[in-house]
């Protein structure tokens, strides 16, 4: 729902350690005024100023700290954008315990686009909470400011490290976003004046938080980038478009994976959902792989999920089974030829073979008993625990070496080229963990980097639990991330449960970060045809990883034909538009979703300009649709039902249809 373009005309100032970035338009008096910085509680003031036209910097030697601090500012006034990069150089040993950016105090303010009653805040945590053991959907995404102090970008759900503060009519808005996630996580603390008829904040600022550590120490002569932050002023930009410029800039800075991913034009079969779960056997899977190769030629990844391990699934933790000899951890009854032979046979059929890994350790396992010093510790002392399971601490050299032996087994000895990394985010993201050295962000980047190094640029890498909410930094190493919960057997309740936390990730251009994955589509015999088609349409239209599952050898010809239609021409990562505003301001069940294909895309070159999906999430018939203006094309467009190819009749005002309960309609818009 694009309302307009970014603001034009901004002003930047830096005086005595404070910066101001604001709009110069009289009808849009918005921006940040007089924001300051501190390191270990010491204010960054009296900085030497070196001005420039588009870029400038300021440097100061701290009198209270053995450090020299540098602030670099780059302005793009036409785009209404400022980038601030903050670096510290240690003059002696320097223990960094706290880093604060962009702080308000009595002499600073946020020029808000109206009174607080007219303001809204958008952050991905508004649609989902993930802090073990809590995991739940929330709403709305576009939300009034909380009355009390609040923190944003905390938790274990891989949130987008950005906020959008915007007037309720979207006329004016402010984006602040992190451009770096190497050591710290950027966390915002926001407290509005409780008298909402005013326009001031009591607190507004960011902390560069150290996850899993109390401090980071620099030796004399060492330097560290403390933060790199985007500040952007928008005019007439809807929340679903507010972060597009941020992601495009981030993609250029970090060369994120998705634009090079084989999954942009491929699909992945996963052995887990729609029946098999951990009941996997090499002969059955290879039979299924042959069906896929014959019926769905665009599918290029075959992912072996849980069930291949040597010992029973029950008890202990999945990583225990690799101890002490990783290469011995395979089920000889289910995979009699060995894991290398299985992977090689998949490759011979034209697939990249992928495998599942869960790095959890049973706290009552042999590994934990024999190697207690390898276990990741909790903040309160003792091993960090998720129920009866914990993790290894990669900052312990011996534990790190064992983790690498496991990866070398999967991708070296066994020959797999892809990974689904499950149940892993808590060890890096939880505020309750304490590494012996380093931070959770550092060790997450290290572990993901080790996987990518072994699978290479053409390998497949997907993160899983906890489901991510769109953090683009995953895209530095990963092709995609799980956004939806397990669909399991594919019942309607499971499918509907996955949807509410999909905003805003599905509207982000995944090619600029990583591809979201709503989990597999398949065919559930306990669901109606309408419910199965709704699931398939949802996975197709949301533009993420195209994954499918189930016992394909048992499907009927009509069901296989529907699979073939969905998998015929993968062209992913363009992002989609959610047309209905109620999904943003109320319960986030998108009823009308559209994809606009760029002229450079494969889909456009095939003669298709758009796909549009209508969904009825309710238990009663409902009118679902959008006007031509909302859809962005006219009655002259040639519309066809996606599944049948038959012409689709539209109304004079737009596309509207009474849908049965749990039903959907997927429409193809062909170029004239």
Task: Mark which of 482, 506, 540 sits at the end of a domain.
Answer: 482
Query: Does residue 269 belong to any structural domain of this protein?
Result: yes
> Percent of the chain having pLDDT more than 70?
96
Q: Which helix (DSSP H) or strand (DSSP E) does residue 45 occupy?
A: none
- Residue 23 pLDDT > 70: yes
pLDDT for res 51: 60
* CATH assignment at residue 107: 2.70.98
Q: Please give the average per-residue pLDDT across 317-335, as a whole number.
A: 96
Residue 222 lies in a domain: yes
267 pLDDT more than 80: yes
pLDDT tens digits along 227-253: 999 999 999 999 999 999 999 999 999
pLDDT digits (tens, 9 = 90+) for 518-539: 999 999 999 999 999 999 999 9
Q: Are residues 80 and 136 in the same domain?
A: yes
Domain termination site, one of 437, 453, 482: 482
Same domain, 161 and 190: yes
Q: Phi and psi for 628 in degrees, rounded to 5?
A: -60, -40
The per-residue pLDDT for range 536-579, each reduced to its tens digit, is 999 999 999 999 999 999 999 999 999 999 999 999 999 999 99
Q: How many CB atoms lie within 10 A of CB 617?
A: 21
Is residue 594 one of the residues assigned to a domain?
A: no
CB 595 within 8 A of CB 577: yes
Nearest to 155 by CA among 374, 437, 439, 429: 429
pLDDT beyond 80 at 46: no
Q: Give the residue from 300, 270, 258 showing the smallest Cα distance to 519.
A: 270
Q: What is the DSSP pairing of strand 172-178 with strand 654-659? A: unpaired
* Three-state secondary structure readout of 495-561: HHHHCCCCCCHHHCCHHHCCEEECCCECCCCCCCHHHHHHHHHHHHHCCCCCEECCCHHHCCHHHHH
Rounded to 5 degrees, what are φ and ψ at 602?
Answer: -65, -35
Q: Are residues 313 and 445 in the same domain?
A: yes
Torsion of CA 424, 385, 132, 154, to 10 degrees: -70
217 and 72 share one domain: yes
The reply to whether 297 and 385 lie within a common domain is yes
- Burial grade of 220 (CB within 10 A; 0-12, 13-18, 19 or more): exposed
Residue 236 lies in a domain: yes
Residue with tokens 């808590």, as numbered in its chain: 426
Residue finishing a domain among 482, 516, 537? 482
DSSP state of 212: T
The answer to whether residue 599 scores a pLDDT higher than 90 is: yes
The answer, yes or no, to whether residue 198 has pLDDT greater than 90, is no
Residue 204 located in a structural domain = yes
pLDDT at 38: 92
Tell me the pLDDT tens digit for each residue of 423-478.
Answer: 999 999 999 999 999 999 999 999 999 999 999 999 999 999 878 999 999 999 99
* CATH value at residue 435: 3.20.20.70
Residues 70 and 134 in one domain: yes
279 is a domain residue: yes
Domain count, the chain: 2
CA distance 259 to 221: 37
Q: Which residues pair with 232 in a beta bridge?
A: 81, 175
Q: What are phi and psi of 664, to 5 degrees?
A: -145, 170
**CA quadruple 52, 10, 505, 116: dihedral, nearest 10:** 130
Residues 194 and 235 in one domain: yes
Confidence of residue 6 (pLDDT cuts 50, 70, 90): very low
The phi and psi torsions of 570 (rounded to 5 degrees) equal -60, 130
One domain, residues 326 and 455 = yes
Q: At a CB cut-off of 8 Å and minimum separation 6, what does 75 contact?
A: 10, 12, 21, 54, 55, 81, 82
Lowest-pLDDT range, 109-118, 151-160, 581-590? 109-118
The pLDDT of residue 4 is 37
The reported pLDDT for the residue numbered 53 is: 56
Same domain, 51 and 178: yes
SS3 331: coil
Structural contact between residues 256 and 250, judged by C-beta atoms closer than 8 angstroms = yes
pLDDT at 39 over 50: yes
Nearest to 184 by CA among 218, 212, 209: 209
**Residue 357 and residue 388 share a domain:** yes
User: Is residue 178 in a domain?
Assistant: yes
Q: 514: closest CA among 303, 300, 260?
A: 260
Nearest to 538 by CA among 658, 642, 660, 419: 642
Mean pLDDT of the chain, nearest integer: 93
What's this model's pTM, rounded to 2 decimal places? Answer: 0.95
In this structure, the answer to whether residues 306 and 183 fall within a common structural domain is no
With 0-12 CB in 10 A as exposed, 13-18 as middle and 19+ as buried, what is 463? buried
Are the C-beta atoms of 353 and 341 separated by less than 8 Å? no
Digit-coded pLDDT (tens) for 271-308? 999 999 999 999 999 999 999 999 999 999 999 999 99
pLDDT of residue 7: 47
Same domain, 80 and 142: yes
Across the range 580-584, mean pLDDT stands at 95
In three-state form (DSSP H/G/I as H, E/B as E, the rest C), the secondary structure along 412-460 is HHCCCCEEEECCCHHHHHCCCEECCCCCHHHHHHHHHHHHHHHHCCCCE
Per-residue pLDDT reduced to its tens digit, 610-652 = 999 999 999 999 999 999 999 998 777 899 999 999 999 998 8
Residue 554 falls within a domain, yes or no? no
The H or E element that residue 200 is part of is none
- Enclosing domain of residue 150: 10-253
Those residues whose C-beta lies under 8 Å from the C-beta of residue 397, and which sit 6 or more positions away, are: none
Show the beta-strand stretches assigned E in 592-663.
592-596, 608-615, 622-627, 638-641, 654-659
Cα gap 380→376, rounded to integer Å: 12
């Amino acid at each position: 729902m694009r309302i307009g373009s970014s603001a034009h005309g901004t002003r930047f100032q830096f005086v005595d350690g404070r910066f101001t970035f604001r709009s110069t338009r009289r009808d849009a008096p918005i921006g940040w005024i007089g924001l300051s910085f501190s390191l270990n509680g010491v204010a960054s003031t009296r900085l030497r100023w070196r001005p420039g036209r588009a870029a400038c910097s300021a440097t100061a030697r701290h009198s209270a700290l053995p450090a020299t601090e540098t602030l670099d500012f780059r302005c793009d006034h036409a785009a209404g954008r400022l980038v601030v990069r903050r670096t510290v150089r240690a003059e002696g040993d320097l223990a960094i315990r706290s880093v604060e950016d962009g702080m308000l105090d009595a002499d600073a303010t946020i020029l808000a686009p109206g009174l607080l009653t007219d303001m809204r805040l958008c952050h991905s945590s508004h649609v989902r909470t993930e802090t073990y053991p809590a995991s739940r959907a929330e709403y709305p995404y576009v939300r009034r400011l909380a009355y009390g102090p609040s923190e944003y970008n905390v938790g274990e759900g891989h949130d987008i490290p950005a906020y959008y503060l915007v007037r309720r009519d979207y006329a004016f808005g402010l984006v602040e976003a992190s451009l770096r996630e190497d050591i710290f996580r950027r966390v915002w603390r926001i407290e509005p004046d409780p008298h909402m008829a005013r326009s001031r904040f009591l607190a507004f600022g960011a902390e560069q938080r150290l996850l899993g550590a109390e401090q980071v120490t620099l030796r004399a002569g060492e330097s560290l980038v403390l933060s790199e932050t985007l500040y952007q002023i928008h005019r007439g930009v809807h929340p679903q478009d507010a972060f597009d410029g941020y992601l495009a800039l981030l993609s250029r800075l970090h060369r994120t994976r998705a634009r090079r991913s084989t999954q942009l034009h491929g699909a992945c079969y996963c052995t887990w959902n729609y029946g098999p779960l951990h009941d996997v056997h090499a002969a059955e899977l290879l039979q299924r792989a042959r069906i896929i190769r014959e019926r769905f030629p665009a599918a290029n990844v075959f992912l072996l999920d849980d069930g291949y391990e040597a010992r029973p699934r029950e008890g202990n933790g999945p990583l225990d089974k690799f101890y002490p000899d990783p290469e011995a951890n395979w089920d000889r009854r289910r995979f009699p030829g060995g894991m290398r032979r299985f992977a090689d046979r998949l490759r011979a059929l034209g697939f990249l073979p992928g495998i599942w890994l869960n790095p959890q350790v049973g706290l009552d396992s042999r590994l934990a008993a024999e190697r207690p010093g390898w276990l990741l510790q909790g903040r309160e002392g003792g091993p960090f625990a998720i129920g009866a399971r914990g993790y290894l601490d990669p900052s312990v050299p011996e534990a790190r070496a064992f983790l690498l032996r496991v990866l070398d087994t999967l991708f070296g000895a066994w020959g797999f080229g892809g990974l689904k990394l499950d149940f892993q985010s808590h060890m890096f993201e939880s505020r309750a963990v304490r590494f012996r050295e380093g931070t959770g962000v550092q060790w997450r980047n290290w572990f993901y980097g080790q996987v990518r190094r072994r699978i290479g640029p053409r390998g497949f890498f997907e993160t899983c639990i906890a489901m991510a909410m769109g953090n683009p930094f995953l895209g530095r190493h990963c092709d995609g991330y799980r956004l939806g919960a397990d669909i399991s057997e594919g019942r309607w309740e499971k499918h509907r449960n996955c949807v509410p936390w999909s905003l805003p990730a599905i509207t982000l251009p995944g090619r600029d970060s990583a591809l979201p994955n709503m989990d597999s589509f398949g065919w559930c015999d306990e669901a109606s045809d309408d419910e199965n088609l709704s699931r398939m349409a949802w996975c197709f239209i949301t533009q993420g990883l195209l994954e499918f599952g189930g016992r394909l050898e048992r499907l009927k010809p009509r069901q296989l034909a529907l699979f073939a239609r969905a998998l015929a021409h993968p062209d992913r990562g363009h992002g989609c538009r959610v047309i209905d505003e109620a999904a943003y301001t109320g319960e986030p069940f998108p009823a009308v979703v559209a994809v606009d294909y760029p002229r450079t895309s494969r889909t456009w070159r095939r003669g298709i300009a758009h796909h549009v999906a209508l969904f009825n999430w309710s238990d009663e018939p409902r009118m679902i649709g959008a006007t031509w203006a909302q859809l962005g094309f006219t009655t002259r467009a040639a519309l066809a039902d996606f599944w049948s190819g038959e012409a689709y009749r539209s109304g004079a005002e737009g596309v509207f249809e009474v849908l049965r309960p749990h039903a959907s309609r997927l429409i193809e818009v062909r170029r004239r």
